Amino acid sequence: MTHDSAGNGAPRDEAAAPEPRVEQSTETPLEQDADGPQQATWRVGRARNVRLDRWLGARVPWMSRTALQRLIQETAVTVNGRTPKASTRLNPGDEVTIVLPPPPVRTLPAQEIPLDILFEDEHLLIVNKQTDLIVHPARSHQSGTLINGLAWHFQQAGDGALSSVGEEHARPGVVHRLDRFTSGVMVVAKHDTAHWRLGRQFEERRTRKRYLALVHGDVEPLADVIDLPLGKHPTIRERQAVRWDDTGKAAVTLYRVRERYGDFTLVELELRTGRTHQIRVHLAHLGWPIAGDDMYGGRHLHVRDVLPAGSGGDRLQVILNRQALHATLLGFTHPMTNEPVEFIAPMPGDLADLIGLLRHRGPCDCPKVAGAELDLDAAI
């Protein structure tokens, strides 16, 4: 890579340079965070003096060179942390980061899956994702995902939301993700420009996200900042863990107690980062696992766990069999109008009913905590 005359390492446009041959990529993207925008980072290997757009074309085969140039123009690509041009030349050791739309879903079936659509315009869609729904298709789940349901929704709506993106980009543009058993609000982009602009807001942490979680135990103090680095669990593949070694990534969660029921606590959570399983691991590490989250020490709940003896009914009846975590609020700048927007997703019935039981059972303490923002009457 060439540097400017000040020697600051900024990539420089060299449109007149000869065009070397670009071979099909065998490089593997560096590890990326799984709980944020679709982002990949590569370290340039043997390529020398290669245009950025051509180099990316060998690594993102589902996008045309023109589409990649638009992506670069939208500042969704950086080279060594700086904003490049499509004609920027790459050399060994350069680090290229790109915020990507997901691959096309032409080969994935559209499926009629009930979706709770909170808002929709010609640019984006807001959905209140139900529990037990995977967002992105994977090798083991090519159907029954949110993307399959969105494909059906756009086909049936008849508004051309998918086809207007073009054949190459015929996909619902999911910008971020929620765990399979986490419910709540998500934004979906309906064309590439909206996708890239929203993805940049998530990448730069310019969105506002608030969650509600029901946890085991009596949380003290009433508010705090959890600043603990997270990374892959050293022995259990599916799990994350607090890591103090060089594999840990900075992770910050703010919590505020909203209601206390003695053996359970309802907390409002604000994310400053978006690591995989961040809320679940942070709360469990402090001794307050999320109810129902058996991966991180929570317990599935039966009637006997909530109501006292003599309350009647089947005390072995399961009332919660997934983590009691709900993405309640999402705020961002509209990608096309630049106006601030905010959306609230009401809790699904299983969590709302459980909180109703705890309130009715008592005790129920509702402390006033500075910075708490969610209207529980609207959310539950």
Three-state DSSP class for residue 13: strand
CATH number of the domain within which 32 lies: 3.10.290.10
Does residue 85 sit in the same domain as residue 172?
no
Residue with tokens 């402390």: 367
Instruction: Name residue 315's amino acid.
Output: R
Whether residue 371 is found in the same domain as residue 227: yes
Are 347 and 287 contained in the same domain?
A: yes
The per-residue pLDDT string of the chain (380 residues; one tens digit each, 9 = 90 and over) reads 433 333 344 444 434 444 444 444 445 454 444 444 567 889 998 888 899 999 998 888 777 888 889 889 888 899 999 999 999 999 999 999 988 765 554 556 788 999 999 999 999 999 999 999 998 766 556 688 898 898 888 877 755 443 233 233 334 577 888 999 999 999 998 888 888 889 889 888 899 999 999 999 999 999 999 999 999 999 998 999 999 999 999 999 999 999 999 999 999 999 999 899 999 999 999 999 999 999 999 999 999 999 988 887 788 999 999 999 999 999 999 999 999 999 999 999 999 999 999 999 999 999 999 999 999 999 99
How many whole angstroms separate alpha carbon 230 and alpha carbon 263? 27
Q: Give the pLDDT of residue 235.
A: 94
Is position 105 within any domain? no
Number of Cβ within 10 Å of residue 50's Cβ equals: 23
Peptide bond into 363 cis (omega under 30): yes
Residues 290 and 245 in one domain: yes
The 10s digit of each residue's pLDDT in 96-119 is: 998 876 555 455 678 899 999 999
**pTM listed for this prediction:** 0.75
Cβ pair 126, 178 in contact under 8 A: no
Q: Are 252 and 205 in contact (CB under 8 A)?
A: no
Asked if residue 168 belongs to a domain, the reply is: yes
> What pLDDT, on the 0 to 100 scale, is given for residue 148?
86
Which domain range does residue 85 map to? 1-100
Going by C-alpha positions, the residue among 169, 208, 162, 204 that lies closest to residue 187 is 208
Residue pair 215/325 in contact (Cβ under 8 Å)? The answer is no
Tell me, yes or no, whether 127 and 70 share the same domain: no
CATH number at residue 275: 3.30.2350.10
Give CA–CA dist 50/357, Å, rounded: 63
- The encoded tokens of residue 245 equal 């070694």
Looking at the domain assignment, is residue 247 inside a domain?
A: yes
Q: What are the structure tokens assigned to 279, written together? A: 């809320």
**Whether 179 is catalytic:** yes
Q: Which of 53, 179, 293, 350 is catalytic?
A: 179
169, 203, 237 - which closes a domain: 203
What amino acid occupies position 12?
R
Q: What is the DSSP annotation of 223-268? A: EEEEE--EEE-SS-TT-EEE--STT-B--EEEEEEEEE-SSEEEEE
What is the total count of domains within the chain? 3
Q: Are residues 285 and 250 in the same domain?
A: yes
Same domain, residue pair 144 and 47: no
Q: Judge if 228 and 306 occupy the same domain.
A: yes
pLDDT in tens, 276-295: 999 999 999 999 999 999 99
Six token digits for residue 134:
């995977």
141-176 pLDDT per residue, tens: 668 889 889 888 887 775 544 323 323 333 457 788
